[in-house]
Amino acid sequence: MIPLSVLDLSVVTTGTKPAAALRNSIDLARHVDGLGYVRYWLAEHHNLASVASPAPDVMIGQIAAVTKHIRVGSGGVMLPNHAPLVVAERFKMLEALFPGRIDLGLGRAPGTDGATAYALRSRLDRREGDDFLERLHELILWQTREFPSGHPYHNVVAMPDDTPLPPIWLLGSSDYSSELAAQIGMGFAFAHHFASHDAIDAMVHYRNRFQPSAWSASPRAILAVAVIAADTDDEAEKLAASFDLNRLRRDRGQYLPLPSVEEALAYPYTDSERASMRRNRSRLFVGSRATVQKTLQPLIDASKPDELMVITAVYDHGARKKSYSLLAEAFGLKAVG
């Protein structure tokens, strides 16, 4: 069976304030660590009422400190928001503190709106247009120490200098990131849960074009999917009502806290809204553990990921933990002590 991982946004609900959402993330990480999940990634978002954590590096340290086996990383650090040296220093520190358990996932989107992106970057050396490749190159140079002798950074050292950067993964929802990850020989994680681009095309493209590098001798591909599992199909569908309303609001630019099931079921949907909800369901796998495993398997077989990364956003924290437990059973994970 395929290994399973977790992508966590520290989701805020109408009944769970941001501080409690952060504590729930730590609790969930402990839970899945014991279930046999292999990786736990935290996302970076800013100025969103629905997401509690804007700083994955802070959460990574907290979660790695209270877990034993699971790898912990960013899914991802939005590199255009940060000076590459700062990213290098923070993740080298995490790797030094938790050797062999840290991942550095990188994204090229801002993870927020335009005004907030400007506030994040206004004191940085801003380039015109998309400067992700330039920042990625600089980040790599802080690892390789290959700045030319006349370069102003030649004698600058990213500390701790006895610790390497953790494995780097490029995140994406299009063919651009799959092509880039293949060309430079890094791991690739595809965001099926919100991508409009075809996941199978992106994953196959990455594998077919992968060039071995100092970062990885072979392709390493993660497929991120949204899943809601419960004891029965009907119960899972009820839990998914919160997702349906939340996604509908997001499509309108309303990034509100996740609504309760009761609020979602009572909402007066129009026919066009119901049609939109049905289209959005193509990005969500809902049902009992058997149903979810059955519906996911064709996508797994076609896209051939090395790992399935699961994001589960439901109103009740206990139901979210139960969903991950059911998935562990469905995919035959072995519990660890």
The reply to whether 337 falls in a domain is no
The reply to whether 336 falls in a domain is no
Whole-number Å distance between alpha carbons of 50 and 35:
27
The reply to whether 252 falls in a domain is yes
- The structure tokens listed for 163 are 């610790």
Q: Any idea what DSSP says for residue 198?
A: -
The pLDDT of 284-312, averaged and rounded, is 98
pLDDT of 120 strictly over 90: no
The pLDDT of 261-271, averaged and rounded, is 97
pLDDT number for residue 174: 87
Confidence of residue 126 (pLDDT cuts 50, 70, 90): low
pLDDT of 158 strictly over 70: yes
The pLDDT of 27-55, averaged and rounded, is 96
Confidence of residue 118 (pLDDT cuts 50, 70, 90): confident
* Maximum distance among all Cα pairs of the chain, rounded to whole angstroms: 66
- Provide the number of structural domains found in the chain: 1
Q: Which domain holds residue 205?
A: 4-331
Quick check: 48 and 37 in contact, CB under 8 A? no
DSSP states along 68-102? SS-EEEES-EEGGGS-HHHHHHHHHHHHHHSTT-E
Whole-number Å distance between alpha carbons of 265 and 50:
19
Whole-number Å distance between alpha carbons of 223 and 199:
8
Predicted TM-score of the model (pTM): 0.95
pLDDT of 129 strictly over 80: no
The reply to whether 298 falls in a domain is yes
The residue among 117 and 215 whose pLDDT is bigger is: 215
The reply to whether 85 falls in a domain is yes
pLDDT number for residue 125: 62
How does strand 71-74 pair with strand 77-78? unpaired
The residue among 146 and 131 whose pLDDT is bigger is: 146
pLDDT of 56 strictly over 80: yes
Whole-number Å distance between alpha carbons of 63 and 29:
7
Residues in contact with 42: Cβ distance below 8 Å, sequence separation at least 6, in sequence order: 8, 10, 25, 53, 56, 59, 60, 63, 72, 73, 74, 75
Residues in contact with 162: Cβ distance below 8 Å, sequence separation at least 6, in sequence order: 96
Residues in contact with 31: Cβ distance below 8 Å, sequence separation at least 6, in sequence order: 321, 324, 325
pLDDT number for residue 109: 83
The reply to whether 187 falls in a domain is yes
Whole-number Å distance between alpha carbons of 163 and 210:
27
Rounded to the nearest 5 degrees, what angle is found at the Cα of 154, between the Cα atoms of 151 and 159?
145
The pLDDT of 111-126, averaged and rounded, is 78
Amino acid at 284: L
The reply to whether 29 falls in a domain is yes
Backbone CA torsion sign across 157, 163, 167, 169: negative
pLDDT number for residue 111: 77
The reply to whether 265 falls in a domain is yes
- Residue 69 sits in a domain whose CATH number is 3.20.20.30
